[in-house]
């Protein structure tokens, strides 16, 4: 075969470029692999956004985490509004009337409100007392019953009343005892039992003294006047139609929502409340608009939930970060030393780890919190006193408590890595040329075990957030007015049925944080140690 | 085998003793005592109470008498729940916690493992994505939020489930789901990943090459090995779930024993904390023993130390 039959391949067709790839260091390679993994990039972006929000958010926000606008408590993120004529109103769940202008709350009917609320409740509740109530004898207080101070007892009606407070914080009169023979006992109304305490709970008469001639000395008083007037009112009143906010000429009537169903006229059955203003009347919610005062709503103290959530994320992240750092420093050092020294040292050190591992977390946290509460670490430099650590805040304490519990897992991991690494030749070489133990551990062993350490740290952060949320939930969290996400969620639980938004936002933030860190951690694990790649 | 078991049981008892000892002395190191109140009690009363419960004796004597009680299964009286011994508390609350925990554990195994297997076999299919999405959600939402959401949606809004208590059998549904959430997700993720790893191994390929039916390959050859990490997790998990969860029992108002530990710690009710710790540790150690036994049953290559060759 003649040589002439073959042509030389032109230079541009040679497969030169494809054969070699730029050589990458381990970390460059990790970064390349991480970038290829979609979910971990989502996680990374999420983590960056959350950290930015947590760091910058509370600064940008017009509110401070502890700012209270107590007039505007428990406002939801979306307000139901009523447009009456040219004016817009919002009525809160406890029937407070707010006026809005361009979606912003501008006015509130402050002074008259408490009286009005009491009055309407009084009528609305008392309407359902049977009208033919009579007392035929007297009912002396049995010797077995003792009354608290400030409690008054009526012999003619067999009922004990005391000044109290209704849930909203308004004054009320509470029924604390009913004589078993009294006609007020086991009342029946419309075939069902009727609780008298409901009827007297709310009252326009805000102190006992108004109920009759109270005799404080023997705690006896006559309720006749009060009871009669109740009965009289039953006769003459069907239901109250309107409540006037006199100065503003707004009439807010929410008796329909409170009344027993069969007392409400059919056309008002599904009416919660009506607003009448300058001759116009509104029966139904006209629109819902975003709450421009508090975008995520406000809590029971009138604090901005958005700011609190961002601030809570910051606290949770700080706790997680400190815990992870403590965990890193103690765990890595301890594990590396135990693994490197080996033998009896290893044995003893690992048994100590086992013992620490067996202590219940809650016990440990409480012990640390109680002990650290007293501790103040400060330094005096040039006559000035700087406090480095103060246990009272709860923040440092909980972070340290978490860190000192979690390092155990890290120590185990590092020890395992070191046990394998220390048998390798490069360690032997280092030893032969007389490198100190400290340098072998810090320069040779730990950097080589860094992959799994980083993965474990990335997974540590969500675990710490989770545990911190749990500890806050059982009441061991950071102390008020500071609040972590866990504290926020815990505080929102009590009024959860009425104000779900208070729980929703912190819970969503926790879930988002966990998701982002988990995704990132999974991705890091795959990138740092391809052998561990799952699926 | 018998020799191994005896050795393990003895070690377990020793471990239990160590845990009880540490907890005992750790508790006494916490400032405050069971009779510390916000409004302090008169000294004379505290002295009398300490005398009644032998808390005035030297610490070491107290320790010895506690251990003596422990050996005879007498966990002592509660200092704060008057008239009850710790034994009473466990007897009255444990069955409830254990029943709910037992149902939850069973469902975790019965649902979680098959879900993991299915999503491993159908990797990167919509089923897989669905399962993994649910699983990721499950490990990211704390159980107190799951619990409140269940109450909000199914009790308040829809009215299908009672919001608290377990007098109605439907009342079990909420707590069981809240208790399962995290572990169910974790188990299905774990099963999936270890199944994927096992399916890639040579012996599975060999089995397939030999023409063994796919069903047999999966259930007889692959599944057994894939279950090892799952069992490692499930063992201690069952111990934790059976002994009650503070959060879930508090939210659903369940009369279990989950709340006593946290309550005990805040009240410094020494005997109650000790009792709960010992109970949990005993369960934990027992489950780990079971797990170790299961290992050698699943994978005969794993031999029990001192076991018959």
| Structure tokens, B12 | 């377990």
Q: What's the confidence (pLDDT) of residue B113?
A: 92
Comparing alpha-carbon positions, the chain B residue that sits nearest to A363 is B265
Pairwise CB contact (< 8 Å): B152 & A466: no
Q: Looking at CA atoms only, how far is residue B30 from chain A in angstroms?
A: 5
Q: Count CB neighbours of A514 within 10 A.
A: 22
- Which neighbouring-strand residues pair with A105? A100
What would the pLDDT profile of B84-133 be if each residue is shown by its tens digit?
A: 888 888 888 888 888 999 999 999 999 999 999 999 888 888 888 888 88
Going by pLDDT thresholds of 50, 70 and 90, the confidence category of residue B73 is: confident
pLDDT at B289 over 80: yes
pLDDT at B229 over 80: yes
CB A422 within 8 A of CB A435: no
CB A102 within 8 A of CB A186: no
Contact partners, residue B220, CB within 8 Å, separation at least 6: none
pLDDT at A446 over 90: no
Going by pLDDT thresholds of 50, 70 and 90, the confidence category of residue A118 is: very low
pLDDT at A366 over 90: no
The predicted model gives B131-139 an average pLDDT of 85
Q: What's the confidence (pLDDT) of residue A25?
A: 80
Handedness of CA B133, B139, B140, B146 (dihedral sign): positive
DSSP for B240-306 reads HHHT--HHHHHHTT--SSHHHHHHHHHHT-HHHHHHHHHHHHHHHHHHHHHHHHHHHHH-TTSPPTT
Between these two residues, B22 and A250, which has the higher pLDDT value? Answer: B22
Q: Looking at CA atoms only, how far is residue B294 from chain A in angstroms?
A: 23
Give the SS3 label for residue A177: strand
Pairwise CB contact (< 8 Å): A358 & B251: no
Q: What's the confidence (pLDDT) of residue A155?
A: 67
Domain boundaries, chain B: 94-267
Chain A residues touching residue B140 (CB < 8 angstroms): 462, 510-511, 514-515, 518
Question: A110 φ, ψ to 5°?
Answer: -80, -60
Interface test with A, best of B19, B140, B269 (most A CBs within 10 A): B140
Q: What's the confidence (pLDDT) of residue A243?
A: 42
Comparing alpha-carbon positions, the chain A residue that sits nearest to B266 is A366
pLDDT at A221 over 70: no
Predicted TM-score of the model (pTM): 0.71
Beta strands in A135-292 (DSSP E): 151-154, 159-165, 171-178, 187-189, 192-194, 214-215, 220-221, 244-245, 250-253, 274-277, 280-282, 287-290
A507 CB within 8 Å of a chain B CB: yes
Question: A193 φ, ψ to 5°?
Answer: -65, 145
What would the pLDDT profile of A289-315 be if each residue is shown by its tens digit?
A: 777 777 787 777 778 888 888 888 888
Cβ pairs bridging A and B (under 8 Å): 93
- Which neighbouring-strand residues pair with B9? none
Going by pLDDT thresholds of 50, 70 and 90, the confidence category of residue A184 is: low
Looking at chain A, the whole-number percentage of residues with pLDDT higher than 90 is: 2
Chain A residues touching residue B197 (CB < 8 angstroms): 534
Q: Are strands A220-221 and A151-154 parallel, antiparallel or unpaired?
A: parallel
As a whole number, the mean pLDDT across chain B is: 83
Contact partners, residue A449, CB within 8 Å, separation at least 6: A336, A414, A417, A418, A421
Q: What's the confidence (pLDDT) of residue A249?
A: 59
Between these two residues, A253 and A76, which has the higher pLDDT value? Answer: A76
The predicted model gives A126-155 an average pLDDT of 60
What would the pLDDT profile of A475-532 be if each residue is shown by its tens digit?
A: 777 776 777 888 888 888 777 777 888 888 888 888 888 888 888 888 887 787 655 4
pLDDT at A163 over 80: no
Q: What's the confidence (pLDDT) of residue B102?
A: 92
Q: What's the confidence (pLDDT) of residue A236?
A: 29
Q: Looking at CA atoms only, how far is residue A141 from chain B in angstroms?
A: 31
Looking at chain A, the whole-number percentage of residues with pLDDT higher than 70 is: 63
| Structure tokens, A215 | 């005799």
Chain A residues touching residue B148 (CB < 8 angstroms): 493, 496, 503
Give Cα A504 distance to the centre of its chain.
9
The predicted model gives A85-105 an average pLDDT of 72
Q: What's the confidence (pLDDT) of residue A403?
A: 79
Q: Looking at CA atoms only, how far is residue A168 from chain B in angstroms?
A: 22
Contact partners, residue A186, CB within 8 Å, separation at least 6: A193
Pairwise CB contact (< 8 Å): B15 & A535: no
Q: What's the confidence (pLDDT) of residue A266?
A: 65
Q: What's the confidence (pLDDT) of residue A49?
A: 92
Q: What's the confidence (pLDDT) of residue A388?
A: 65
Highest mean pLDDT: which range of A6-20, A259-273, A404-418: A404-418
Question: CA-CA distance, A466 to B140, in Å (whole number)?
Answer: 8
Pairwise CB contact (< 8 Å): B247 & A473: yes
Between these two residues, A128 and A393, which has the higher pLDDT value? Answer: A393
Residue A27, CA distances (Å) to A456, B185, B251 in order: 17, 32, 47
Question: CA-CA distance, A456 to A254, in Å (whole number)?
Answer: 58
Pairwise CB contact (< 8 Å): A366 & B140: no
DSSP for B211-245 reads T--HHHIIIIIIHHHHHHHHHHHHHHHHHHHHT--
Residue A263, CA distances (Å) to A117, A164, A266, A267, A283 in order: 20, 29, 9, 12, 18
Q: What's the confidence (pLDDT) of residue B303?
A: 63
Min mean pLDDT across A39-48, A220-229, B9-18 is at A220-229
Chain B residues touching residue A363 (CB < 8 angstroms): 23, 26-27, 265, 273, 277
CATH topology of domain B94-267: MetI-like fold (1.10.3720)
CB B230 within 8 A of CB B191: yes
């Amino acid at each position: 075969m003649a040589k002439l039959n073959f042509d030389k391949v032109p230079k541009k067709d040679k497969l030169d470029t494809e054969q070699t790839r730029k050589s990458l260091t381990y970390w460059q390679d990790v970064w390349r692999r991480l970038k290829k993994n979609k979910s971990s990039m989502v996680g990374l972006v999420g983590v960056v956004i959350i950290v930015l929000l947590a760091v910058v958010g509370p600064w940008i926000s017009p509110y401070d985490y502890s700012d209270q606008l107590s007039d505007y408590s428990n406002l939801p993120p979306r307000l139901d509004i009523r447009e009456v004529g040219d004016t817009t109103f919002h009525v809160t769940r406890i029937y407070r009337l707010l006026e809005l202008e361009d979606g912003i709350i501008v006015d509130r009917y402050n002074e008259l409100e408490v009286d009005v609320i009491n009055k309407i409740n009084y009528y609305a509740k008392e309407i359902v007392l049977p009208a033919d109530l009579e007392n035929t004898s007297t009912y002396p207080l049995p010797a077995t019953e003792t009354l608290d101070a400030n409690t008054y007892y009526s012999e003619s009606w067999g009922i004990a009343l005391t000044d109290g407070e209704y849930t909203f914080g308004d004054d009320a009169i509470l029924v604390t005892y009913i004589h078993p023979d009294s006609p007020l006992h086991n009342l029946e109304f419309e075939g069902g039992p009727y609780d008298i305490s409901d009827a007297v709970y709310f009252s326009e008469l805000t102190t006992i003294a108004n109920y009759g001639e109270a005799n404080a000395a023997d705690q006896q008083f006559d309720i006749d006047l009060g009871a009669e007037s109740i009965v009289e009112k039953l006769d003459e009143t069907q239901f109250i139609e309107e409540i006037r906010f006199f100065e503003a000429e707004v009439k807010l009537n929410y008796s329909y929502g409170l009344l027993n169903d069969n007392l409400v006229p059919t056309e008002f059955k599904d009416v919660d409340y009506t607003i009448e203003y300058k001759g116009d009347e509104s029966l139904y919610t006209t629109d819902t608009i975003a709450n421009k005062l508090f975008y995520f709503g406000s809590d029971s103290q009138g604090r901005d939930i958005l700011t609190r959530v961002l601030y809570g994320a910051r606290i949770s992240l700080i706790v997680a970060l400190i815990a992870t750092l403590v965990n890193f420093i103690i765990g890595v050092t301890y594990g590396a030393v135990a693994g490197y020294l080996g033998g009896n040292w290893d044995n003893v050190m690992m048994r100590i780890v086992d013992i620490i591992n067996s202590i219940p977390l809650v016990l440990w946290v409480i012990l640390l919190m109680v002990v650290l509460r007293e501790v103040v670490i400060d330094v005096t430099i040039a006559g000035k006193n700087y406090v480095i650590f103060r246990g009272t805040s709860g923040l440092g304490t909980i972070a340290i408590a978490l860190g000192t519990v979690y390092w155990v897992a890290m120590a185990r991991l590092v020890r395992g890595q070191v046990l394998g690494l220390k048998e390798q030749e490069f360690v032997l070489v280092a030893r032969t040329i007389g490198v100190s133990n400290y340098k072998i551990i810090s320069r040779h062993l730990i950097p080589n075990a860094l992959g799994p350490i980083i993965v474990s740290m990335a997974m540590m952060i969500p675990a710490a957030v989770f545990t911190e949320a749990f500890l806050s939930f059982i009441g061991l969290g950071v102390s008020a007015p500071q609040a972590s996400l866990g504290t926020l969620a815990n505080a929102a639980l009590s009024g959860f049925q009425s104000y779900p938004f208070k729980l929703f936002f912190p819970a969503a933030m926790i879930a988002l944080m966990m998701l982002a860190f988990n995704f990132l951690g999974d991705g890091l694990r795959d990138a740092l140690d391809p052998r561990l790649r799952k699926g | 085998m018998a020799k191994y078991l005896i050795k393990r049981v003895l070690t377990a008892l020793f471990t239990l003793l160590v845990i009880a000892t540490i907890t005992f002395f750790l508790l006494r190191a916490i400032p405050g005592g069971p009779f510390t109140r916000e409004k302090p009690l008169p000294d004379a009363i505290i002295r009398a109470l300490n005398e009644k419960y032998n808390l005035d004796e030297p610490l070491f004597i107290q320790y010895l008498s506690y251990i003596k009680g422990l050996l005879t299964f007498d966990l002592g009286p509660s200092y704060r729940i008057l008239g009850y011994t710790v034994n009473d508390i466990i007897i009255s609350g444990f069955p409830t916690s254990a029943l709910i925990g037992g149902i939850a554990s069973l469902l975790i195994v019965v649902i979680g493992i098959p879900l993991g297997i299915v999503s491993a076999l159908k990797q990167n299919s919509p089923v897989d994505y669905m399962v993994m999405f649910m699983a990721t959600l499950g490990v990211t939402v704390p159980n107190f939020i799951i619990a409140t959401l269940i109450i909000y949606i199914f009790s308040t809004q829809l009215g299908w489930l009672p919001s608290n208590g377990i007098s109605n059998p439907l009342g079990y549904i909420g707590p069981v789901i809240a208790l399962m959430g995290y572990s169910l997700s974790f188990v299905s993720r774990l099963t999936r990943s270890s199944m994927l790893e096992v399916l890639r191994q040579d012996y599975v390929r060999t089995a397939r090459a030999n023409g063994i039916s796919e069903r047999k390959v999966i259930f007889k050859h692959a599944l057994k090995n894939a279950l090892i990490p799952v069992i490692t997790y499930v063992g201690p998990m069952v111990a934790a779930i059976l002994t009650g969860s503070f959060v879930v029992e508090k939210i659903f108002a369940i009369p279990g024993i989950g709340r006593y530990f946290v309550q005990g710690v805040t009240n410094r009710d020494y005997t109650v904390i000790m009792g709960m710790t010992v109970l949990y540790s005993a369960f934990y150690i027992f489950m780990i023993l079971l797990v170790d036994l299961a290992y050698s049953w699943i994978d005969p290559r794993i031999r029990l130390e001192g076991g018959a060759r």
